Every structure is written in C-alpha cells, then in structure tokens.
C-alpha cells in the first residue's frame, strides 16, 4: 500500500485517520505542530514553511497525502489554511502523490433552499470559510487532480471520548456552560470514523475537485446538540435555543449523493449514530 502522509495527525480527524490507515496496512507518517501525537510515526511540521513542507513530503515519498491541518481562527489562519494548503498541494504533486484536501461546508453562505451541491460556487460569509474557499482554489491550481473533501461538524458518538461539539452540548446540559444553540443554522454532522473511512477509500477512487462527504441528516445546531447530549446520558430538554448572529451562514446542508454513489463507506446521519 505504501506510505500515507497525514498533516494534522495530532488533530481530531487526523488522529482517527492515522489509526484507521495503520490498521488498513498503510505505513503512516503524521505531522503535527504543537502536540506530539501518540501511536504514530510523527514529524513536526509548520505548513506555512514551504521549504519544510517540500522536504518532509519528498523525504516520506508518500503514495498519498491527506491534508487536514488548519487553523479555525486567529491571525495565522490565512497563512496556515491558504498558503499551507498550497505548499502541501505543490509538494504532493511534485512527489506524484494522490492528495485528499480537507475543506468545509462553510465555504458556502448557505440558504439556497436546497442542499448544497459540488457545482454550487463557494460564497463564504465567515473569515474561516473564506480562507477555506481560497485554500480550495489554491489546491486546485497546485494539484489539479486533488479531491477537495467538504465535510461538516465532526463528532464521535456514544461510548467514545467527546469531540468539541459533543463536549459543548454535554456541558450545557449539565449547566456548566451558558450556551444558546442556534435553531436557524443547519449543518450535516458527520461521524468522524465514517469520514475517515471515506477519505481512505477516496485515495483509490478516480475523482477530483470538490466532493461533499458529510452525514445524511441535515440538523439545526440545536437538534444536533440535543441528540449529542442525550447520547451521552444528559437531558436534552435542558439545552436552550437561540438565533444565530448576523454574519453566520444559515442552511449549509450538503448534498452528499455524489459521494454516496462513489463510495462503499456509508455516511450515516446523526440520528442513526446518536440514536435520536
Ligand atoms: N472539526 C470539524 O467539525 C470540522 C468541520 C468541517 C471541516 N473540518 C475540516 O477538517 C479538517 C480537520 O479538522 P479537525 O477538527 O480534525 O482539526 P483540529 O482537531 O483542530 O486539528 C488541527 C490540526 O492542524 C494542526 N496545525 C495547526 N496549525 C498548523 C500549522 N501551522 N502547521 C501544521 N499543522 C498545523 C494542528 O497541530 P497541533 O495540534 O499539533 O498544533 C492539528 O493537528 C480541517 O481542515 C477542517 O477545516 C472540520
């Protein structure tokens, strides 16, 4: 199978990918910035450093690269998300490696009255969404055969360590956090193992450009938080509803029918996974 290089191996999705890839027989090389990941052969790499990216990728001689590393906010977000993605894409192409680049549903402003398709033009409303839309364009230029996986809120589900989105719901239900969950913002929450399995499968699928890989159930932030709280043994009725502030996208549900037709991996809806 050869070597798989995963950027962001210390991250939520990256760690899941490394575990699954190793179990599937890949020689996995992970990269991290500040947190050394356990259970994977890992190298420190700042994706903003083009020379370092070129050297790590060339040294690993990967058959495939999955680029998950990113920053959601802060001054460094554009340099990490846009320049970093371009550096990884350029190095992957130079190495002759398949590239799966991770993107997000919030490259869209949403609210088209139907789930968003791959051929809808990105129209981000947030600074984060804008960096990820620019990253997609940069990756497309540097590595035209790359697949750009757009996913949505990632969670693990019952019996497993809480993701940040699950943690928020559980702490709010316990009264430890004062949060209002938006009942007017729709996303397609996705189980992290399903997304990781789909990404590994995509390495060998002949597809390029954007691909929507997210959960089957469109849910408001409130509906998802209630499902997550209940799945982790908390009372969902304790969660408070609120409206999203101006400047946030509304309905960003993704139409994942193309991925469903291409992949054996089933992208389950949160109701099925969380038992709602
Ligand atoms: N989580 C979600 O709900 C969600 C939803 C939609 C799309 N996505 C997409 O999925 C991908 C993975 O998200 P995630 O939640 O798994 O990420 P995460 O847990 O926040 O991890 C981010 C990773 O990026 C690394 N990183 C940050 N700055 C870096 C830099 N300058 N150079 C190299 N590495 C750097 C971090 O390294 P250290 O921790 O070692 O510093 C960490 O491994 C992202 O591309 C994101 O856009 C995620």
Q: What is the pLDDT of residue 159?
A: 86
What ligand 1 atom has the least distance to the C-alpha of 80? Answer: 31
Q: How confident is the model at residue 276, as a pLDDT? A: 64
Ligand 1 pocket at CB < 6 A: 7-8, 10-14, 32-35, 45-48, 68-71, 80, 84, 102, 104, 132, 151-154
pLDDT of residue 121: 97
pLDDT (tens, 9 = 90+) of the chain, 276 residues, equals 899 999 999 999 999 999 999 999 999 999 999 999 988 999 999 999 999 999 999 999 999 999 999 999 999 999 999 999 999 999 999 999 999 999 999 999 998 999 999 999 999 999 999 999 999 999 999 999 999 999 999 999 998 889 999 999 999 999 999 999 999 999 999 999 999 999 999 999 999 999 999 999 999 999 999 999 999 999 999 999 999 999 999 999 999 999 999 999 999 999 999 996
Q: Is 128 a residue of the active site?
A: yes
pTM above 0.85, yes or no: yes
Choice from 8, 15, 48 to test ligand 1 binding pocket (greatest atom count within 8 A of CB): 8
Residues 6+ positions from 248 with CB-CB distance below 8 Å: 125, 126, 182, 185
Q: What is the model's pLDDT at position 263?
A: 98
Q: pLDDT (tens digit, 9 = 90+) per residue, 181-231?
A: 999 999 999 999 999 999 999 999 999 999 999 999 999 999 999 999 999
Q: What pLDDT score does 160 carry?
A: 86
Euclidean distance between CA atoms 174 and 138, whole angstroms:
43
98 DSSP β-pair partners = 64
Three-class SS of the chain? CCEEEEECCCCHHHHHHHHHHHHCCCEEEEEECCCCCCCCEEEECCCCCHHHHHHHHHHHCCCEEEECCCCCCCCCHHHHHHHHHHHHHHHHHHCCCEEEEEEEHHHCCCCCCCCECCCCCCCCCCHHHHHHHHHHHHHHHHCCCCEEEEECCEECCCCCCCCHHHHHHHHHHCCCCCCEEECCCEECCEEHHHHHHHHHHHCCCCCCEEEECCCCCCEEHHHHHHHHHHHCCCCHHHCEEECCCCCCCCECCECCHHHHHHCCCCCCCHHHHHCC
């Amino acid at each position: 199978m050869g070597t798989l290089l995963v950027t962001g191996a210390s991250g939520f999705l990256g760690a899941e990918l490394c575990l699954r890839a190793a179990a599937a027989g890949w020689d996995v090389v992970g990269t991290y910035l500040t947190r050394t990941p356990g259970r994977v052969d890992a190298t420190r790499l700042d994706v903003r450093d083009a020379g370092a990216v070129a050297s790590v990728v060339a040294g690993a001689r990967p058959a495939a690269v999955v680029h998950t590393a990113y920053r959601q906010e802060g001054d460094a977000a554009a340099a990490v998300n846009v320049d970093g993605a371009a550096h990884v894409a350029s190095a992957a192409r130079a190495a002759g490696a398949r590239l799966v680049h991770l993107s997000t549903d919030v490259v869209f402003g949403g609210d088209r009255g139907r789930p968003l398709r791959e051929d809808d033009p990105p129209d981000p409303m947030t600074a984060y969404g804008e960096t990820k839309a620019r990253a997609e364009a940069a990756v497309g230029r540097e590595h035209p055969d790359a697949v750009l996986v757009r996913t949505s809120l990632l969670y693990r589900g019952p019996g497993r360590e809480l993701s940040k989105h699950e943690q928020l719901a559980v702490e709010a239900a316990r009264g430890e956090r004062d949060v209002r969950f938006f009942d007017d913002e729709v996303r397609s929450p996705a189980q992290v193992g399903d997304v990781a399995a789909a990404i590994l499968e995509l390495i060998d699928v002949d597809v390029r450009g954007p691909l929507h890989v997210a959960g089957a159930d469109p849910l408001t932030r409130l509906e998802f938080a209630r499902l997550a709280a209940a799945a982790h043994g908390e009372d969902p009725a304790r969660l408070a509803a609120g409206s999203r502030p101006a400047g946030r996208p509304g309905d960003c549900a993704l139409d994942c029918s193309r991925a469903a037709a291409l992949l054996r991996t089933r992208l389950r809806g949160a109701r099925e996974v969380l038992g709602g």
